[in-house]
């Protein structure tokens, strides 16, 4: 399907999407805005699809995203080939872009990258996104690989199981005394203030529903703190109870600054590594390091 797309037009489309406007793309490509416009139109005629919404900034349509992903993979292949041929004349180091969930980034992911050999020198560009949305960044071609909760391969990607992250319901000792001793956990938790990562974090609701059949979820007082470390710090400071990653809260649990609320009822979130199917030595080295560190630190 991708055969026979004029590469100049494809690269032009990518520049327009990355720069946001035809004028900005023209400046980057050193051509006139009208040339940019003609190339995009020609590509749209050739594919028989509208590829760009002419908003400000422009946005790719669904068909446009497919071509943009192709363009990014192409750019990547060219860069790797140049580098392997010793032709990195631009002096540009190899960039490895990865989308990773906040809790992995706060625990095992940087140690994994430390395992990657530093010769040749790579640039790591990490994007932080919820594990249910990292695959989306892969689909859009913004990253080459992702730590994701989705086992279903994104088109053009391979998948590998990494293990599971365990979450435990926890709260500060003060919070337990103030909010959770006045009845069974299934009832007190449905009223007590609760922490969330952001509005779409439903781990706490899932936990409460698992405790008591028919429960609608956690209580109405919900604080949102959208960083992994901030979330755990807020639970320890008594803002609310929350599901904390076992790997991250280990010290706080051991020293009693956090109390596990139901030690026998963890929530396990399986994680997967998805990456573009590219014969890229850099990407392969990262994948290998990630798999090793995950095997060491995540649960099977």
224/200 Cα distance (integer angstroms) = 10
- Of 54 and 265, the one with the shorter C-beta distance to a second copy is 54
Give the interface with a second copy as residue ranges (CB under 8 A). 53, 55, 59, 91-93, 102, 105-106, 110-111, 113-114, 121, 123-128, 193, 199, 220-230, 233-234, 237, 239
- Of 101 and 150, the one with the shorter C-beta distance to a second copy is 101
Which contiguous run of DSSP H or E holds residue 52? strand 52-53
Q: How many CB atoms lie within 10 A of CB 268?
A: 12
Q: CB of 40: closest distance to a second copy in angstroms?
A: 18
Q: CB of 35: closest distance to a second copy in angstroms?
A: 26
Residue 94 phi, psi (nearest 5) = -75, 125
Q: CB of 199: closest distance to a second copy in angstroms?
A: 8
Strand partners for 99: 127, 146
Which contiguous run of DSSP H or E holds residue 203? helix 203-211
From residue 111, alpha-carbon distances to 16, 95, 103, 114, 290 in Å are: 37, 18, 13, 5, 9
- Of 219 and 266, the one with the shorter C-beta distance to a second copy is 219
- Of 12 and 228, the one with the shorter C-beta distance to a second copy is 228
Q: CB of 227: closest distance to a second copy in angstroms?
A: 6
Q: CB of 5: closest distance to a second copy in angstroms?
A: 25
- Of 4 and 62, the one with the shorter C-beta distance to a second copy is 62
Strand partners for 260: 170
């Amino acid at each position: 399907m991708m055969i026979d797309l004029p590469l100049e037009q494809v690269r032009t489309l990518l520049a327009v999407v990355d720069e946001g406007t035809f004028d900005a793309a023209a400046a980057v490509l050193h051509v006139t805005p009208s040339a940019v416009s003609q190339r995009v139109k020609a590509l749209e005629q050739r594919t028989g699809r509208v590829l760009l919404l002419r908003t400000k900034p422009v946005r790719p349509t669904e068909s446009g995203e497919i071509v943009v992903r192709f363009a990014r993979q192409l750019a990547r292949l060219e860069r790797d080939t140049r580098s392997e041929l010793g032709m990195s004349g631009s002096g540009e180091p190899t960039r490895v872009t990865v989308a990773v969930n906040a809790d992995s980034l706060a625990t095992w992911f940087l140690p994994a990258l430390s395992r990657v050999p530093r010769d040749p020198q790579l640039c790591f560009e990490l994007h932080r996104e919820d594990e249910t949305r990292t695959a989306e960044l892969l689909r859009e071609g913004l990253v080459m690989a992702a730590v994701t909760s989705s086992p279903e391969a994104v088109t053009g990607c391979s998948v590998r199981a990494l293990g599971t992250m365990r979450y435990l319901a926890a709260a500060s000792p003060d919070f337990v005394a103030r909010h959770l001793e006045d009845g069974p956990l299934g009832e007190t938790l449905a009223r007590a203030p609760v922490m969330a990562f952001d509005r779409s974090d439903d781990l706490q609701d899932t936990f409460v529903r698992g405790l008591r059949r028919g429960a609608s979820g956690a209580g109405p007082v919900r604080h949102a703190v959208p960083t992994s470390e901030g979330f755990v710090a807020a639970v320890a400071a008594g803002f609310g109870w929350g599901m904390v990653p076992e790997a991250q809260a280990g010290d706080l649990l051991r020293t009693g600054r956090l109390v596990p609320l139901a030690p026998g009822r963890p929530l396990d979130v399986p994680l997967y590594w998805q990456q573009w199917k590219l014969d890229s030595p850099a990407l392969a080295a990262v994948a290998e390091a990630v798999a090793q560190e995950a095997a060491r630190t995540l649960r099977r």
